[in-house]
Structure 1
Amino acid sequence: MMKFLVLVLGVLTSSLADSNAVSRNYDEEICDPHTMTLAQYPAILTKLDVVLTNPLKLRATFRLPNSTKEITAEGMSYGSTSSFTQDSAIVACRSLGCSKAAGRVTMSWTPTQACRFTCPDGTSALQTCRNMQQDFRCPTDAMSLKECITKPFFSISGNNLNGIAFVCSECGED
């Protein structure tokens, strides 16, 4: 019986040490917002905001597991009017406080130092923008593009700079 208790306590202590090491990594890890990627931080998507509509630029906010710390990453929406449907445009407009999407068009964008990445400690920096998301599929009652995600973030291969632009109408007091 005593050997069993010692074995169980040893396993529990080892498990607790492992879980504490994981949470300490997030606090102790040095993050450089100039070079960080989402792959470095397994996390849970909590919010997806529209930053620009021409071209569509998004800001994803993620919460780190077992933590209140967050990271954010900005990027461009890749696609065409077939992958960003009128329903997707309406949802994007709803997230901006508008009730209608007046139109959308496929367009090209130019990579610039204009996408902000924020580390868990709050430090942030601009990185060159890259394709972040594509192929939204929105339920008709969706209020945020977060509800429309079908693919992992930054999983688009190649350097295709096709994006989406859209116009919202019936915003606020309009």
Structure 2
Amino acid sequence: MKKYIFIAYLFLIGINAFAQNPEFSGRPYLWQDKKLTDLERVDAQFDTKAKGLGYGGVDTYYTVFTGKSDIRFSKEKLPIFVVKVDKGIDPAEVYSVLKAKVKKNKRSFLIGSYAMGGKAKDTGKEKIKITYKKLKDGIYEISLPSDIAAGEYSFVPNSTEGMSAGNKMKITCFGID
């Protein structure tokens, strides 16, 4: 009988291990000390940059007009993030984690690159390979790779809705030292 009580107790602990729900769907949170905390949310401007007067193609970015995130983590103690998505949605389809190019006190996150004729170029090397672990229906833990380089990073929406020159959108940023 004690064995069954113990198993039931472990089951209940597992259910309640992550009892806190993120407030907003599609918005990453930091999971630290058994509570959810907001990350840096900034306005990023959709921007394009022509290469070689346009003959080299065009790169598209989300640009943040500060050089460094206030939210910092150590490579030795990487953060765990949590995101809530609508039922039936794969969290990998909602966000990508991108490393910024920092120049002149601006963080630029490359989201697309196109050749002169409009043909898309591979921008996969800019994306960080993250892993997802289901905590409960619609709520996922996000882990960064252990070999992630120091730098500035952001969760960037995969949606192309509202993407046109000069438009702004909120992105979630952090830094690794």
Q: TM-score, normalised by structure 2?
A: 0.30
Question: Relative to total residues, which structure has the larger helix share, 1 or 2?
Answer: 1
Structure with higher Rg: it is 1
Structure ranking higher on relative contact order (CA contacts 8 Å, 6+ apart): 2
Q: TM-score, normalised by structure 1?
A: 0.30
